[in-house]
């Protein structure tokens, strides 16, 4: 059994806005057991979880994917996916037992008493209905009765509250006409439309850019506080959880391993898993570095630094510009879109250069030009002093092996029909590298390099975890002994602990093989851990370019400062961090 | 929207010209002499054959014949066939019954295909789903004429519920059995397509979110699952209208329906190029119109698609 820490009421909002007795729990989950039936047997996703939420309180469940945090949340609103079933324990909401209650009763509760803000705004609004229609559904399903005019007024109010100006026009638009941030605002509006007592926010911002994330969370915080709504956050980001919730519940493999006031858990984690989580959280790690830095410690002791054998720049991008034609109507001609606008940077041999920016900033387009996968409209990429645009087909083929990419989605970049061996061997075979026996030996070596057993060779991508798949992608990139690896959001899709492991592996490989990394990311927290130099991009242009320390200690541009401020956990003032 | 429609209709012109030219060339290059064949065993005198050729413009070069045909299209006067009937009248006689048959088949496949597909998709992996999947596969595997004969014997002869053949009395009741037979295979495809689409959409994030905001099962199914699932199904059904019209040849043969199928078959065997091309052209136009309708319906179902 795990240690159960007493769930305290410390940190309950003292704003006094909650209309109900604040000493009586709003939600009380006791010894909750949830299991899924699969082809290979029963999987216990949640095992004896205890969580208490008081009226008006904000509680965050923190854990990595597979920890059972989302499953627990789904059980509260009786929407467990697939074969999921509550097999034990109780969920009491506002004095009513929900486990085993008739479906109609739980349905009446949804939306009206318990609202939800889902994870991915892109997939959680039905693309074929207008935003206003989807708000109407929420209102009507929860007992709104009134004239058409009153309804329209209420819809506009809901969207306005959620921070969408010009709400009447917005209500007539479709989801695809909204940006991700606007969609999430609409979803928050829908979640709170019927004034629920509890709002479940399941990773409400993990699919959004950092600066948007901050705005949305700020808004969500103000709104729920004004309405006196209790919030149950589900997140994998400890920094974010600590910043946004008073009370933390840490889940690991279906169990609640620790719970208590946020600050206390950060300062003094008890459970080994929580300790690892606090130590690995990138947002907190950069905060820790900053604290240490201010205390006079040289950051080199904390941050990995590569000492390349050779010096000089391996990749030089000169005034790169990429213009895309956006197709207009048949006779209307096309408009131009400058994805990358006059971007220059240098990647030193054995160094790591981070290209940082939000989605749409042109960082991936720039990376694709460096890889030679896109032709620049103007400007040039020089690799080892040679302009890659002038290469003959044979030279271009040879150039390819010297620079290799690793992409964001390890699920998408490995062919599911290829065994791991075949995936890693493919580049070797393509470049006619050695005999079959030698190639097999090389694959073993590579697997060893990325700390995977040789037995993984015979397996297929679907049998591996996300982190393992990303290791395979790295092994494949290293197969041809490249000099430069382009890491396009290579760790963004991974859980924090796995992310930390992969970053460590990348650092080790850089040391051993003298690799140069071009690191594309939206996450400044990760940059702090790995990069030597940083290029900050915004709407295709470079806004700031300096060493990592300079950017973090003394950002010159407002945009960079916004990005830095948006790192979750950056606002945790005066917290003595553990580890 | 209107400019889009206008452009689509303008696009019809090259498609129409290309299709008719191709058809005309194929019929023209067909081996055998239809005029010589008119005389049967005894043959016709050379002078008579020449006279007939001149009457039907068959002595002129290919391209002139084609241009004369185009003039016929514009003036809606294709001349007469070898039996002396107005070709325009032949078409006017054949198309209504086939059109009715195809539309009845279309309604049957759409209503039952989507209905059963929806239930199967919502109960994926359950008994109903399994049964329907096996039955639909059987339906796809069985040739149309086998299904037609079985229906005739069981429903028509043994049970006596519906007339066995249609003949000169093409009313709704007598066309019901042919329509069911004609719809058979397409029904199975619509069912399977709907089922897959529904099964996929019912696990979509926005469906769960809709339930989380308090919507009942019925509302979620009709408003969120069904509408989104219909998008690929509508494409299939629309494209199928053309296939049903031209694919009715076998069904019309089995049930003795005097529609496009039978008339076209006769014209092909007799080598009446003008009749063949004229009828096929109408089919091409129907096909293109159906596709245009699908595109417009598509935009109505999915707001992300906008034509300008």
- Per-residue pLDDT of A61-96, as tens digits, reads 998 877 888 889 999 999 888 788 899 999 999 988
- Residue A267 pLDDT grade (very low, low, confident, very high; cuts 50, 70, 90): confident
- Which of B10, B213, B225 to mutate to probe the A interface, most A CBs <10 Å? B213
Residue A226, pLDDT above cutoff 80: yes
- The DSSP letter of residue A254 is T
Give contacts of B 220-259 with A, CB under 8 A: 223-224, 227-228, 231
- Which stretch of A22-36, A360-374, A445-459, A564-578 has the lowest confidence by average pLDDT? A564-578
8 Å CB contact of A123 and B210: no
| Nearest neighbour of B215 by CB, restricted to A128, A137, A187 | A137
CB contact at 8 A, A506 and A536: no
Residue B58 host element (H or E): none
B213 touches chain A (CB under 8 A): yes
- Residue A305 pLDDT grade (very low, low, confident, very high; cuts 50, 70, 90): very low
How far, CA to CA in Å, does B299 sit from each of A46, A122, A327, B239? 44, 20, 19, 16
Q: Which residue of B has its CA nearest to A137?
A: B215
Report percent pLDDT > 70 for chain A. 87
- The encoded tokens of residue A485 equal 């690896």
DSSP-based three-state secondary structure for B127: helix
CA–CA gap between residue B72 and residue B68 (Å, rounded): 6
* pLDDT at residue A518, as a whole number: 93
Q: In whole numbers, what is the pLDDT of chain A averaged over residues?
A: 82
* pLDDT at residue A266, as a whole number: 84
CA–CA gap between residue B129 and residue B118 (Å, rounded): 10
Task: Kindly give the parts of chain B with pLDDT less than 70.
Answer: 1, 31-32, 34, 36-40, 306-308
CA–CA gap between residue A252 and residue A375 (Å, rounded): 47
> Which residues in A lie closer than 8 A to residue B6 (C-beta atoms)?
none
Q: Which long-range contacts (CB under 8 A, 24 or more apart) does B57-62 make?
A: B62/B24, B62/B25, B62/B28
8 Å CB contact of A124 and B213: no
B209 touches chain A (CB under 8 A): yes
* pLDDT at residue A298, as a whole number: 43
For the CA atoms of A67, A26, A248, A246, the dihedral, rounded to the nearest 10 degrees, stands at 150
Chain A residues with a Cβ under 8 Å from any Cβ in chain B: 77, 79, 81, 107-108, 110-112, 115-116, 118-120, 123-130, 134, 137-138, 141-142, 174, 176, 187, 190-191, 193-194, 329-330
- The DSSP letter of residue B85 is -
| Nearest neighbour of B301 by CB, restricted to A120, A125, A128 | A128
- Which stretch of A2-6, A57-61, A224-228, B245-249 has the lowest confidence by average pLDDT? A2-6
- Residue A14 pLDDT grade (very low, low, confident, very high; cuts 50, 70, 90): very low
CA–CA gap between residue A379 and residue A370 (Å, rounded): 11
> Which residues in A lie closer than 8 A to residue B211 (C-beta atoms)?
79, 107, 110
pLDDT digits (tens, 9 = 90+) for A102-161: 988 888 899 889 999 988 888 899 988 999 999 999 898 888 888 889 999 999 998 988
Q: Which residue of A has its CA nearest to B212?
A: A110
Report percent pLDDT > 90 for chain A. 22
* pLDDT at residue A5, as a whole number: 39
Q: In what order do the strands lie in the sheet with A335-348?
A: A335-348, A313-326, A378-383, A386-387
8 Å CB contact of A138 and B227: no
* pLDDT at residue A540, as a whole number: 87
Task: Please indicate whether residue A229 or residue A498 has the higher confidence score (pLDDT).
Answer: A229
Residue A176, pLDDT above cutoff 70: yes
Size of the A and B interface in Cβ pairs below 8 Å: 87
B297 touches chain A (CB under 8 A): no
* pLDDT at residue A181, as a whole number: 83
8 Å CB contact of A329 and B209: no
- The encoded tokens of residue A88 equal 């034990």
State how far residue B44 is from chain A, nearest Cα, in angstroms. 58
Residue A306, pLDDT above cutoff 70: no
CA–CA gap between residue A247 and residue A55 (Å, rounded): 13
> Which residues in A lie closer than 8 A to residue B204 (C-beta atoms)?
123
| Nearest neighbour of B212 by CB, restricted to A79, A123, A174 | A79
CA–CA gap between residue A119 and residue A386 (Å, rounded): 45
pLDDT digits (tens, 9 = 90+) for A515-556: 999 999 888 888 888 888 999 998 889 999 988 888 888 888
Residue A8, pLDDT above cutoff 80: no
* pLDDT at residue A155, as a whole number: 92
8 Å CB contact of A118 and B213: no
pLDDT digits (tens, 9 = 90+) for A397-446: 888 889 999 987 777 788 888 889 999 999 998 888 888 899 999 999 89
pLDDT digits (tens, 9 = 90+) for B21-59: 888 888 777 766 767 666 667 777 777 777 777 777 777
| Nearest neighbour of A142 by CB, restricted to B209, B214, B219 | B214
* pLDDT at residue A34, as a whole number: 92
8 Å CB contact of A141 and B302: no
- The DSSP letter of residue A434 is S
Buried/exposed A14-27: b ≥16 CB within 10 Å, e otherwise: eeeebeeebeebbb
């Amino acid at each position: 059994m795990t240690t159960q820490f007493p769930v305290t009421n410390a940190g309950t909002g003292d704003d006094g806005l909650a209309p109900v007795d604040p000493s009586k729990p709003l939600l009380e989950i006791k010894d909750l057991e949830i299991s899924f039936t699969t082809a290979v047997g029963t999987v216990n996703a949640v095992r004896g979880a205890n969580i208490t939420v008081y009226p008006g309180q904000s509680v965050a469940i923190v854990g990595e994917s597979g920890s059972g945090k989302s499953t627990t949340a789904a059980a509260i609103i009786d929407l467990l996916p697939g074969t999921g079933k509550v097999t034990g324990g109780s969920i009491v909401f506002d004095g009513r037992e929900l486990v085993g209650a008739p479906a109609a009763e739980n349905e009446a509760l949804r939306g009206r008493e318990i609202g939800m803000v889902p994870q991915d705004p892109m997939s959680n609004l039905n693309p074929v209905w207008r935003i206003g229609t989807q708000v109407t559904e929420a209102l009507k399903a929860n007992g709104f009765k009134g004239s058409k005019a009153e309804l329209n007024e209420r819809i506009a109010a809901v969207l306005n509250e959620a921070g969408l100006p010009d709400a009447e026009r917005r209500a007539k638009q479709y989801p695809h006409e909204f940006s991700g941030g606007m969609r999430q605002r609409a979803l928050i509006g829908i979640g709170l439309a019927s004034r629920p007592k509890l709002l479940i926010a399941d990773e409400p911002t993990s699919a959004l850019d950092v600066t948007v994330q901050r705005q949305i969370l700020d808004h969500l915080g103000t709104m729920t506080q004004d309405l006196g709504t209790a919030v149950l956050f589900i997140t994998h980001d400890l920094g974010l959880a600590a910043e946004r919730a008073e009370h933390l519940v840490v889940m690991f493999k279906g169990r609640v391993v620790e719970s208590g006031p946020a600050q206390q858990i950060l300062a003094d984690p008890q459970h080994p898993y929580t300790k690892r989580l606090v130590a690995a959280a990138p947002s907190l790690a950069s905060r820790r570095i900053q604290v240490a830095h201010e205390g006079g410690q040289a950051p080199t002791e904390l941050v990995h630094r590569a000492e390349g054998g050779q010096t000089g720049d391996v990749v030089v991008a000169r005034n790169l510009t990429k213009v895309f034609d956006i197709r207009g109507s048949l006779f209307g001609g096309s408009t131009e879109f400058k994805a990358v606008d006059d971007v220059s940077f240098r990647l030193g041999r054995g160094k790591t250069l981070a290209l940082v920016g939000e989605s749409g900033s042109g960082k991936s387009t720039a990376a694709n030009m460096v890889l030679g996968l896109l032709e620049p409209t103007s400007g040039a990429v020089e690799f080892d002093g040679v302009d890659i645009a002038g290469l003959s087909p044979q030279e271009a083929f040879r150039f390819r092996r010297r620079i290799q990419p690793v992409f964001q989605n390890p699920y998408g970049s490995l062919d599911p029909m290829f065994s791991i061996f075949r995936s890693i061997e493919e580049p070797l075979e393509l470049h006619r590298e050695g005999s079959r026996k030698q190639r097999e030996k090389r694959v073993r070596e590579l697997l060893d390099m990325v700390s995977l057993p040789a037995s993984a060779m015979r397996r297929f991508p679907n049998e591996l975890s996300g982190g393992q798949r990303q290791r395979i992608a790295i092994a494949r990139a290293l197969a041809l002994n490249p000099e430069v690896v382009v890491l396009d959001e290579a760790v963004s899709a991974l859980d924090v602990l796995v992310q930390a492991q992969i970053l460590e592996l990348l650092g080790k490989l850089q040391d051993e093989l003298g690799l140069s990394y071009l690191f594309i990311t939206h996450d400044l927290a990760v940059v702090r851990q790995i990069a030597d130099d940083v290029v900050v991009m915004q709407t295709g242009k470079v806004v700031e370019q300096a060493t990592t320390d300079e950017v973090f200690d003394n950002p010159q541009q407002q945009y960079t400062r916004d990005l830095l401020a948006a790192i979750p956990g950056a606002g945790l003032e005066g917290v003595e961090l553990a580890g | 929207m209107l400019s889009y429609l206008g452009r689509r209709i303008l696009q019809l012109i090259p498609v129409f010209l290309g299709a008719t030219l191709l058809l005309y060339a194929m019929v023209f290059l067909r081996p055998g002499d239809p005029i010589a064949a008119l005389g049967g065993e005894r043959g016709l005198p050379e002078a008579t054959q020449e006279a007939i050729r001149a009457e039907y413009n068959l002595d002129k070069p290919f391209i002139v014949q084609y241009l004369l045909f185009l003039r016929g299209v514009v003036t809606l006067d294709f001349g007469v066939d070898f039996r002396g009937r107005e070709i325009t009248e032949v078409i006017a006689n054949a198309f209504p019954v086939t059109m009715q048959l195809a539309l009845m088949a279309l309604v049957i496949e759409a209503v039952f295909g989507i209905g059963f597909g929806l239930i199967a998709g919502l109960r994926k992996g359950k008994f109903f789903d399994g049964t329907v999947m096996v039955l639909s596969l059987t339906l796809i595997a069985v040739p149309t004429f086998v299904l037609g004969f079985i229906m005739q014997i069981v429903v028509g002869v043994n049970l006596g519920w519906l007339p066995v053949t249609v003949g000169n009395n093409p009313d709704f009741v007598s066309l019901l059995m042919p329509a069911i037979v004609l719809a058979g295979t397409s029904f199975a495809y619509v069912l399977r397509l709907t089922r897959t689409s529904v099964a996929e959409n019912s696990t979509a994030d926005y469906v769960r979110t809709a339930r989380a905001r308090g919507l009942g099962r019925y509302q979620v199914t009709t408003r969120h699952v069904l509408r989104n699932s219909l998008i690929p199904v509508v494409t299939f059904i629309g494209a199928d209208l053309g296939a049903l019209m031209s694919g009715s040849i076998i069904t019309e043969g089995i049930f003795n329906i005097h529609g496009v199928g039978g008339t076209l078959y006769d014209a092909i065997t007799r080598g009446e190029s003008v009749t063949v091309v004229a009828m096929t052209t109408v089919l091409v136009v129907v096909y293109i119109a159906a596709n245009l309708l699908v595109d417009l319906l598509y935009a109505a179902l999915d707001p992300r698609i906008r034509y300008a």
